[in-house]
Amino acid sequence: MAPADVALSELVAAVHGPGGRVLYTPETVVVADPAPLFAPHLRAVWHRAVSYGRSIRKVTPWFSLRGSVGLGGVLLIIAALLALNVSIDVGFAMVVGGIYLLALVIASTAAMLRYQSVKVGALSFVGTIATHLVQLAGFARGLVVG
């Protein structure tokens, strides 16, 4: 049976739709060429993040953080606290930022070693940060605005 030509965003929504759970089997493979970094990739990330934020808003009327939000959820909480002028311990913010930067350095170094290119490592570092910021902003928009 030939696979249907389905847009990735529709596939993700269809798989996530029935109760928010996904059954994984090792035989299941979805292959798609990634969009070029930056503009097309970031646009796709934005739309998926807004969609995800809207789906969370529908499940929980105001606000819900699930495990899959991870570090983005922590950053969203910190941004909300800063917006509300709530004092945040500078040491805590530095530890969270340091852990994030360490993870980025490790991932970018792995990419650099894998492809034997300093350029790939640098693009990985910048692209990951850009992707996380766009994903966080899109999720927040979908969650708050709907």
Both tokens of 128, joined, read: 């990951």
Higher-confidence residue of 104 and 4: namely: 104
pLDDT digits (tens, 9 = 90+) for 54-68: 887 777 654 544 444
Distance CA 88, CA 75 (A): 12
> What confidence score (pLDDT) does residue 74 get?
64
Q: CA–CA distance from 38 to each of 43, 99, 144 (Å)? A: 8, 25, 25
Q: Is the model's pLDDT at 23 over the cut of 70?
A: no
Nearest to 43 by CA among 145, 137, 146, 143: 137
Q: Does this model's pTM top 0.85?
A: no
